[in-house]
Structure 1
Amino acid sequence: MTETDAGLARRLATLAGRLLLQLRDNEDTNAKALGDEGDRAANRLILDALRRARPDDAVLSEEEAADPARLAARRIWIIDPLDGTREYGERRDDWAVHVGLAIDGVAAEGAVSLPAMNACFCTAAPPSLLAENRPLRMLISRTRPAPEALAVARALGAELVPMGSAGAKAMAVLRGDADIYLHSGGQYEWDNCAPAAVAIAAGLHASRIDGSPLVYNRADPLLPDLLICHKARAAEILALVAGNA
């Protein structure tokens, strides 16, 4: 039987994660060199496998020069082979592998692997959502907390939860470890395609912070802001963001 797109995404995210763990455990080098090697190795594994499994699909990866021909494609795999390179190099747990598929500009299928946590989340079988925490928990960047996120957290009385990669943050909402991921500090399509696909499949809200939809496979892959939260909370958060604009 032909492998589904979701199954392929999960398999490749898992395989790349295993490779990254092996490299991290066997490589005795500094954080930057380890991160660079991890990016290269995971990217090579995923792209080689995609060329074999989906030769007619376009690909956009953080680690490859973008091919302008992709803009005419309906189906494009959007890859971040190592999201959270700094965290990986520092041998932390909050890094991820993103394998996403956008169809007609929409994040349709994908998987986010959290290798150091022995977890992989996929659009085909997302976990059931848990109730929001009390007090609410707001995810923020470890190094560059977004002003909008801090303002919304104050308004909601939410606890701040610093964390590394975008994928790790998005999956923390899925897991129930946090409730709101609001980012405005700049991202690219590979940072949020797979996380958004998985979040939406699980029944979460995912959009730009002005409420507009996330659109993929654009000429400029910059997709600078993102909100992932429970659907019932989205209108309140979007109104708070607009009020602080």
Structure 2
Amino acid sequence: MTTDARTAARLAESAGRLLLDVRAGELDPKALGTRGDTLSNRLLLDRLAADRPGDAVLSEESADSPSRLAAQRVWIIDPLDGTREFARPGRTDWAVHVALWEAGKGITAAAVAQPALGTVYASDDAVLAARRDGRLRILVSDSRPPVFAAAVAEELDAELVPMGSAGAKAMAVLRGEADAYVHAGGQWEWDSAAPVGVALAAGLHASRVDGTPLRYNEPHPYLPDLVICRPELAGRLLAALG
């Protein structure tokens, strides 16, 4: 049987191709985002039902079921992370997230596809690139940057860089294009499960902003804050965040 990580990568890539086809159509931005969310979700749910019929699913675009709390394996998916960016011509900072949570283990397989870049990052082959030279770069939401971001950047002599999708920001850190991604002010499990799974597999640090672990498949799947960064920066960044 195909490994869970390869299944995640294949599903994320397939949904990404579908989204590129949707994006090429003649739709207004609002309709484009809605259609992308709906069709990508349908594809992922259908494929998971066929490939992993005994597993539960938590998706941004489907009604939650309490039955997942008793499941041993739960796929946590965001069919289109960065719907707003997806609907804007020329934007590449949107993604597809597919992650597997297992009881007693946490996130055990994950993939993030960035279709507009033609890339898929998976937990079984993710590699942390060397950082670029120059000043520290901290990625933040371009719509809801943390209220403390400017103070943290000043303390670390870092540049704040706005970007869309959580997956896009996490993978930019993986590629060495930035040193950290910091978020506060609200997220859900599907926003971070796959990016965190890939990031941790590649050797990046990932935690809550207070340094505590990120926990998934919780009764209320809300994770308000997050930090992903290069391992050598984690101590300094968490101290500044504290």
Fold in common (TM above 0.5) = yes
1:49-99 deviations in whole A, cap 9, x for unaligned?
000111111100000011100001121100000000000011311000000
1:100-156 deviations in whole A, cap 9, x for unaligned?
111126122110000001111000100233136420011011112112322211111
Instruction: Please identify runs of 4+ aligned residues in structure 1 that moved more than 4 A.
Output: none
Question: How many angstroms apart in 2 are the aligned matches of 1:215 and 1:24?
Answer: 33
Residue correspondence of structure 1 range 1-245 to structure 2 within 5 A: 2-26=1-25, 28-91=26-89, 92-104=91-103, 106-131=106-131, 133-242=133-242
Question: How many angstroms apart in 2 are the aligned matches of 1:76 and 1:148?
Answer: 34
- 3-state SS in 2 of match to 1:97: strand
TM-score, length basis structure 2: 0.96
Question: How many angstroms apart in 1 are the aligned matches of 2:86 and 2:118?
Answer: 14
- 3-state SS in 2 of match to 1:137: strand
Q: How many residues align?
A: 240
> Does the 8 Å CA contact 2:170/2:199 hold for their aligned counterparts?
yes
Deviation at 1:25, TM superposition (A): 0.5
Question: How many angstroms apart in 2 are the aligned matches of 1:164 and 1:117?
Answer: 14
> Does the 8 Å CA contact 1:133/1:179 hold for their aligned counterparts?
no
> Does the 8 Å CA contact 1:112/1:198 hold for their aligned counterparts?
yes
Question: How many angstroms apart in 2 are the aligned matches of 1:145 and 1:223?
Answer: 16
Question: How many angstroms apart in 2 are the aligned matches of 1:16 and 1:149?
Answer: 33
Q: Which moved more, 1:143-152 or 1:186-195?
A: 143-152
Question: How many angstroms apart in 2 are the aligned matches of 1:12 and 1:164?
Answer: 22
1:26-63 deviations in whole A, cap 9, x for unaligned?
2x121111000000000000010000111111100000
Question: How many angstroms apart in 2 are the aligned matches of 1:180 and 1:53?
Answer: 35
Taking every aligned residue pair, what percent have the same amino acid on both sides?
55
> Does the 8 Å CA contact 1:133/1:176 hold for their aligned counterparts?
no
Which residues of structure 1 form unaligned runs of 5+?
none
CA RMSD of aligned residues (A): 1.1
Question: How many angstroms apart in 2 are the aligned matches of 1:120 and 1:148?
Answer: 32
> Does the 8 Å CA contact 2:141/2:163 hold for their aligned counterparts?
yes
